[in-house]
Amino acid sequence: MRIVSVRAWPVSFPVPESERVSLGIGTAVKRDAVVVKVVTESGLVGWGESHHGRAHGAIAHLVNTTLRALILGMDAGDCVGVWARIYRFQLASHGMGAATAMAMSGIDMALWDIRAKAVGWPLCRLLGGAVKPVPAYAGGVALGYQDPAALVEEVRPHVEAGYRAVKLRVGDTPARDIARIEAVRRAFGDDLVILTDANTGYALADARMAMPAMERLGVAWLEEPFPAHDHRAYAEAKSFARIPLAAGENHYTRFEFHRLIEDRVLSILQPDLSKCGGVTETMRIAHLASAWKLPIHPHSAMTGINQAASIHLLAAIDNGGYFEADISRNNLFRDRMVSTPWSIRPDGTVLPLEAAGIGVEVDEAFLEAHPAIEGPGYV
Q: pLDDT tens, 314-345? A: 999 999 999 999 999 899 999 999 999 999 99
* 202 and 238 part of one domain: yes
Cite the DSSP H helix spans in the chain. 56-62, 68-71, 79-86, 98-119, 123-126, 148-161, 174-188, 204-216, 231-237, 253-263, 278-290, 304-314, 332-335, 364-369
Condensed to tens digits (0 to 9), the pLDDT of residues 141-170 reads 788 899 999 999 999 999 999 999 999 999
Q: Give domain status of residue 55, yes or no.
A: yes
Q: Give domain status of residue 195, yes or no.
A: yes
In percent, the amount of the chain with pLDDT more than 90 equals 93
Cβ-contact 180, 204 below 8 angstroms: no
Q: Give domain status of residue 189, yes or no.
A: yes
* 159 and 271 part of one domain: yes
CATH of the domain at 257: 3.20.20.120
Residue type, 189: G
For the chain, how many structural domains are there in total?
2
* 143 and 10 part of one domain: no
pTM for this entry: 0.97
Condensed to tens digits (0 to 9), the pLDDT of residues 6-59 reads 999 999 999 988 788 887 788 889 999 999 999 999 999 999 999 999 999 999
Cβ-contact 34, 62 below 8 angstroms: no
Mean pLDDT of the chain: 96
* 92 and 172 part of one domain: no
The mean pLDDT value for 262-281 works out to: 98
What pLDDT is attached to residue 71?
Answer: 98
The mean pLDDT value for 271-280 works out to: 98
* 188 and 223 part of one domain: yes
Q: Give domain status of residue 358, yes or no.
A: no
What pLDDT is attached to residue 140?
Answer: 86
Containing domain of residue 186, as a range?
Answer: 124-350
Q: Give domain status of residue 376, yes or no.
A: no
What pLDDT is attached to residue 94?
Answer: 87
Name the nearest CA neighbour of 166 among 188, 137, 187, 127: 137
Name the nearest CA neighbour of 5 among 110, 85, 100, 117: 110
Cβ-contact 223, 197 below 8 angstroms: yes
